[in-house]
Chain A
Amino acid sequence: MFERLFTSISEKVSLTDEEFEICKTLFQPKKLRKRQFLLQKGEVCKYTVFVEKGILRSYTTDEKGNEHILQFALEGWWMADLYSFFTNEASPYDMDALEDSELLMITQSSWSLLLDKVPALERYFRILIQNNLIATQRRLMGAMSETAEEKYTKLVESFPDCIQRVPQHMIASYLGITRETLSRTRSQLASRK
């Protein structure tokens, strides 16, 4: 139940067995079925979530009913609306499961307690936030300046698993391109091979 979380932590910091046991007491295990919601627009994001198994997505829906996907979270990834999580303000996002998923969820108060009891995790979360900031900057630059082909190629190289498991229309939404453009781009790339 905690295998991937502990692997993720161990890749960045060293914890004792006792510290891992403390972690187990502060995370809430949760199974979410495909298409069930974790969070809906207008609610406060009470948990930050680690994905042990499955895929989550966070997205908004515009007035025309079009979905705009902000993020996917596969096994070993974290997901939350951090602004809502830390400020207790309503989230503009929906979050749901694309597959049957197994999650580890932690509230803000439990997270603060966790960092008090296991100070080494301050470094772990600092590294995660650092990496997230870098990735967000790159994605922002990519959204402004990259071609559809460049965006898609980058995604395939970085997250090949995502391409296999996520429907194409959602990939298009995430990349900020139309389904038709994505389809054309994939055909062009395939024909060059």
Chain B
Amino acid sequence: MGDKQGLSRRRFIQISAAGGGGLMLAFYVPGAADRLLDVSEPERRFNTFVTIATDGTVTVKIPVPEIGQGVRTSLAMLVAEELDVEWEHVGVTQADAADDLGPHPFAGGSRSVRAYWLPLREAGATARAALLGAAATRWDVLPDVLETRPGYVVDPRTRRRLAYGALVEEAAANPAPGNVSLKDPSEFRLIGTDRRHLDTPAIVRGNIQFGLDTVVPGMLRAVVARCPTYAGRVAAFRDSAALSVPGVQKVVKVDALGGTEDRPYSVEGVAVVADSTWAALQGRNALDISWDRGPNSDESTDRLHELCRDLVGRRAETFREAGELDKELASASRTVEAVYHAPFLVHAPLEPMNCIVHVRGDGCEIWAPTQVPIPIWRNAAALLDMAPEDVVVHVTRVGGGFGRRLSFEFVLEAIQVARQVDAPVQLVWTRQDDMRHGFMRPFSYHRLKAGLDGQNRITAWLHRQAGTSRYAFREGEEPGRSEFREGTYPAGLNPAYRLEYALAESNLPVGPLRAPGLNAFTFAAESFLDEVAEAAGRDPLELRLDLLSEDQTLPYGDEDVFETARLRRVIEIAAEASGWGTPLPEGRGRGIGAMSTFGSYAAQIAEVSVDDDSGAVTVHRVTCAIDCGRVVNPNGVRAQAEGGVIDGLGAALFGEVTVTNGAVDQSNYSDFAILRYHQSPEIDVHIIDSDAAPTGAGEPPYPPMFAALANAVHDAVGARVRRLPIRPERVLEALAEARTGPA
């Protein structure tokens, strides 16, 4: 379990996930002891997640990495609520990779609160019940007559009370209580209230430790030279110049690992190991490497544009359909058709990839800013041919995830270097490395076509997608499934629809980026809804509300459902709050985007102005409505909504990665820009008050933003931009087209 000291002397209640999604409460005594012996710290662990010290301070072990989504606070609130303690007495630690961390010990899918809502509340309730039991024994009463007040067990009849800290020893010596009951939401004191994030005071003092900040005694630093072309190889290299740079200690080869020769998971390279980061970088500059550019040296985004334009113009494989689409289209009074493009994107988190690996004779220790500690743990053990219990993976704070750190090729590189050096090694990717050698959000084209009847209602909806797919090389998976993640809205609300998918084959590495499978899809589908509204002479808001007017609960992807009422509601609330329908000055417009992501619902309305001489777009305000079920920390949800809006705007206005001769062209925030302070609009967030089961907020606000922006630009000046990013020159082109094109 990561803690090698005193474990055999501890007795603790274990809470873990059972197969089939239930919870299993296991009482585990490692060693023969029947009561607590010789515990080195004055505290007792009640289960994997909760430790209570004799002074009453509570420490919650957080099973999910903190990437800025606020889990170190929201998950601790779940425990603290049911345990019944003052929030000021709660602290957190970050869990190392382990087997007993519950149902979802990784950061992804906007799933942390959703998955841990019951397990962590049960952990807190179990600890509370154990304390009640201990007090009951001490007072010789039945536990049911006792109550708790934050931090205390009280006997309401006699007013006597005992602090939790005074009860911990006895509580830990008893069998684990079974069948604990959870609070009714009406009793919540913490859940649903605004809480500041626990680490903010440390952050503002510069005391917070990210991966890159971690220092291990004797640590060396390494950087890797990689072929600019993906999957290129080292043909030859000379290291004498590098080795003579002061501070450089060693130059070692790193092999390609995983995947295939043409599509390795981790690429080949040459690592320079030095006693400082700068020396390692200088050493790398001094390497003399000749590259074999490898199998992808002809690949380019130009080729993909041509290929996808072609694919999206021809019938493709049916992914999902209902009704008789072709017949409906043929008999429609009018049809509308448009083609959209969403480019490759990179995640570009501000902390670049890095980790520390220490390979010793008897084991391995890793410190990584990661979204996936357990896969790192298991893969490191396998790569090193060690037992999992001999490998420890510590999770540092993560300077931005966005899906990038679901991959851990940088750990495999670091392991290879660390095994060739007798010291801990911190492997660092520069910003340029990070932009060029990671994986990308897939490249796609979307052709949509709709049929309208005589009453200007949609009768048919075709969405054909052609692009690179995250599932292209996954055995047993349809490539369309990762890119048409759901497809239910808006297509599935029409009497006849068809989703088609054509794979554009490419070895370029693609993977998940914030709301994968929905971010590009929503740009196309929600932009097209507006184009249909325009053709039908209908208001885009009215059209959406009409489409969603019948209360339905539809299947949605693998495990979610789509409730029309909930999407309708966020659209209505955002529209009202944004002043939809009220007049705007010349050159200003509003646009809507809405989508359901991972069980939550978000709608945004962007208000922009467009300079029709330069094509520059200024975003004045975004109104966001989000329904994520019952909210744990409203402050945190607002932060995620603000962040998702800004992320979406930046990507919509600037985000594009191009590839030439198999190499990424962009290298820094100069040519792959993100939104800056002065470009950021006023953001007005409305959180729906809901008692539905909690769902996430990290990803849902992102997908709607692209279409909200494109639709607002169109509303402002009549320019329809169908190709992201929405650059000024594309706005001008669209304006020209609007003026000269067919009516």
A and B part of one assembly? no
Interface set of B (CB-CB < 8 Å, partner A): none
